[in-house]
């Protein structure tokens, strides 16, 4: 079923009785060519591009809960490609270009809104660093511009420009950055994959992997054994737990990151704003709620909920940046589990087991990467070669000293 304006009008005139479930609910078959573990944004995107771009068949996505019930439904919906390093920037720019054509591509309204993202500057040194980053972005085909204090004042007059500790001196801006309706991304990819014959199997948790002579034969699940020629794991947050079934230890720790939504307010912030020095970022949803967050809690966690000290820290950051936020009530807050990798960058690679592939380590930047992550993982699964924009995301970069460490923090996951 394709969506169109005509279709909406026709359904309106006939009592909306023609809408069907958007995807099937099939039982697992005995074997597939490709099994993708994880029915979140990245897993569904992988299945979608495997079927659509790489023309592969007999694909299944296994999800332990319901589709899109993990981190793709728990993030703060920001898209951007404002990275510095060569290993990252081409990949994230590829992702942003895919976002720009996504809704036409999968015929689903994902509310892609390129409302611009700004990173605030407080010192001369920070201006130098952001200028360098902006130049790196432009060299890789992305857009970037420096915004002066006066320009910024015209855009956001309510900011606390003369904060004693972090006076605002300007910003780095990427106009093509913005926000996307996150659930619709999962639904759009799921529908697109289902239309191309992918079996989306829910309530199906992987409980083991059958490996013989260094080759994967399939996965044990709560719905029985499912054979597969190739298995791709895309379960960021739970990567260590799933890959332990194959006897692997990963360069990853799981951490909790909290996010917050205020009550609905009138239009106030039309873009995305990051206040890195104050551990705070904010945007406003179309419903009017301020969507904001800050740092990870900083200790290993699988709890999907954080603790009060970080909530206080985030609230302080908000008050420092825009004191009027103190008048808004907090509506809800939640936590998501991040794969924090040892250099702050992801992994899309083969493993030591033939036929077993891994996609994870997205830290708290996985949502914006969803289309390119799916495309590059599908490329790796279908061709056994890394996609040209994802060649640096290898497991052995830690052994070879080829880390992609944007912040230069070293092997300390809670600092990335």
Partner 1 sequence: MIIPHPILGPRDAQEFVYLGDASLIDRPDGMTAGIEVFHDYLYNRDNPAGLHRELWYHEQGDRSWLVVTRDTVTHEIVSAELARDVARARGRSK
Q: How far apart are CB 262 and partner 1 at their closest, in Å?
A: 25
Is 285 a binding residue for partner 1 by CB under 8 A? The answer is: no
Q: Is the Cβ–Cβ distance between 329 and 263 less than 8 Å?
A: yes
> Site residues for partner 1, window 222-251 (CB under 8 A)?
238, 240-241, 249-251
Measured CA to CA in angstroms, residue 358 lies from 111, 236, 377 at distances of 29, 10, 8
CB 99 within 8 A of CB 112: yes
Q: Cβ closer to partner 1: 121 or 243?
A: 243
What minimum distance in Å lies between the beta carbon of 297 and partner 1? 9
Q: Which of 51/252 has CB closer to partner 1? A: 252
Please check whether residue 172 is in contact with residue 133, taking contact to mean a CB–CB distance below 8 angstroms. Answer: yes
Q: Coil, strand or helix: which one is 226?
A: strand
Examine residue 299 and tell whether it contacts partner 1 (CB under 8 A).
Answer: yes
How is residue 121 written in tokens? 């500057």
Residue 122 CB, shortest distance to partner 1, in Å, is 25
Tokens encoding 369: 């990467």
Burial 243-271 (b: 16+ CB within 10 A, else e): bebbebebbbbbbbbbbbbbeebeebbeb
Q: Is 409 in the site for partner 1 (CB under 8 A)?
A: no
**Residue in 300, 311, 316, 328 binding partner 1, rule: CB under 8 A:** 300
Q: Does 309 bind partner 1 (CB under 8 A)?
A: yes
Least Å distance, CB 347 to partner 1, is 11
The DSSP 8-state label assigned to residue 27 in this structure reads P
Structure tokens given for 203? 């309530």
Among 169, 398, 405, 409, binds partner 1 (CB under 8 A): 398
Exposed/middle/buried for residue 312 (C-beta within 10 Å: 0-12, 13-18, 19+): exposed
With binding defined as CB under 8 A, does residue 9 bind partner 1? no
Candidates 253, 295, 316, 405; binder of partner 1 (CB under 8 A) is 253
Residue 164 interacting with partner 1 (CB under 8 A): no
Nearest residue to 366 (alpha-carbon basis) of 262, 252, 260, 283: 252
Interface with partner 1: number of residues (CB under 8 A): 24
Question: Interface with partner 1 includes 412 (CB under 8 A)?
Answer: yes
Site string for partner 1, 369-388 (x = CB under 8 A): --------------------
Q: How far is the CB of 211 from partner 1 (least distance, A)?
A: 19
316 binding partner 1? (CB under 8 A): no
φ/ψ region of 84 (left if φ > 0, alpha if ψ in -120 to 50, else beta) reads: alpha
411 belongs to the binding site for partner 1 (CB under 8 A): yes
Residues near partner 1 (CB under 8 A): 238, 240-241, 249-254, 298-303, 307, 309, 342, 398-399, 411-414
């Amino acid at each position: 079923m394709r969506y169109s304006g005509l279709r909406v009008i026709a359904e309106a005139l006939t009592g909306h009785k023609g809408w069907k479930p958007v995807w099937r609910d099939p039982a697992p078959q005995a074997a597939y060519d490709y099994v993708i573990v994880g029915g979140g944004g990245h897993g569904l995107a992988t299945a979608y591009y495997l079927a659509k771009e790489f023309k592969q068949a007999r694909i299944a996505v296994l999800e332990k809960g319901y589709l899109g019930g993990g981190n793709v439904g728990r993030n703060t919906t920001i898209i951007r490609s404002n990275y510095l390093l060569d290993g990252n920037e081409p990949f994230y720019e590829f992702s942003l270009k895919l976002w720009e054509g996504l809704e036409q591509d999968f015929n689903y309204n994902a509310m892609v809104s390129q409302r611009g993202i700004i990173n605030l500057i407080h010192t001369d040194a920070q201006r130098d660093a952001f200028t360098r980053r902006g130049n790196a972005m432009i060299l890789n085909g992305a857009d970037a511009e420096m915004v002066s204090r006066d320009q910024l004042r015209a855009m956001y007059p309510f900011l606390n420009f003369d904060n004693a500790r972090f006076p605002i001196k300007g910003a780095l801006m990427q106009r093509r950055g913005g926000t996307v309706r996150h659930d619709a991304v999962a639904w759009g990819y799921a529908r697109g994959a289902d239309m191309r014959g992918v079996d989306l199997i829910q309530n199906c948790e992987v409980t083991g992997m059958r490996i013989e002579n260094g080759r994967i034969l399939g996965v044990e699940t709560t719905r029985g054994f499912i054979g597969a020629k190739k298995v791709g794991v895309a379960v960021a947050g739970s990567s260590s737990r799933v890959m332990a079934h194959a006897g692997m230890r990963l360069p990853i720790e799981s951490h909790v990151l909290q996010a917050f939504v205020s009550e609905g307010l009138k239009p106030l912030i039309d873009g995305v704003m990051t206040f890195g020095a104050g551990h705070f970022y904010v945007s406003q949803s179309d419903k009017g709620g301020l969507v904001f967050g800050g740092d990870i809690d900083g200790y290993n966690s699988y709890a999907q909920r954080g603790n009060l000290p970080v909530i206080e820290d985030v609230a302080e950051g908000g008050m420092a940046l825009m004191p009027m936020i103190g008048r808004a009530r907090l509506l809800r807050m939640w936590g998501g589990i991040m794969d924090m990798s040892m250099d702050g960058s992801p992994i899309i690679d083969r493993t030591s087991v033939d036929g077993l592939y891994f996609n994870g380590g997205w830290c708290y930047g996985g949502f914006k990467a969803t289309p390119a992550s799916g495309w590059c993982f599908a490329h790796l699964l279908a061709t056994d070669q890394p996609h040209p924009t994802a060649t640096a995301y290898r497991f052995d970069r830690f052994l070879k000293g080829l880390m992609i460490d944007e912040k230069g923090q070293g092997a300390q996951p809670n600092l990335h």
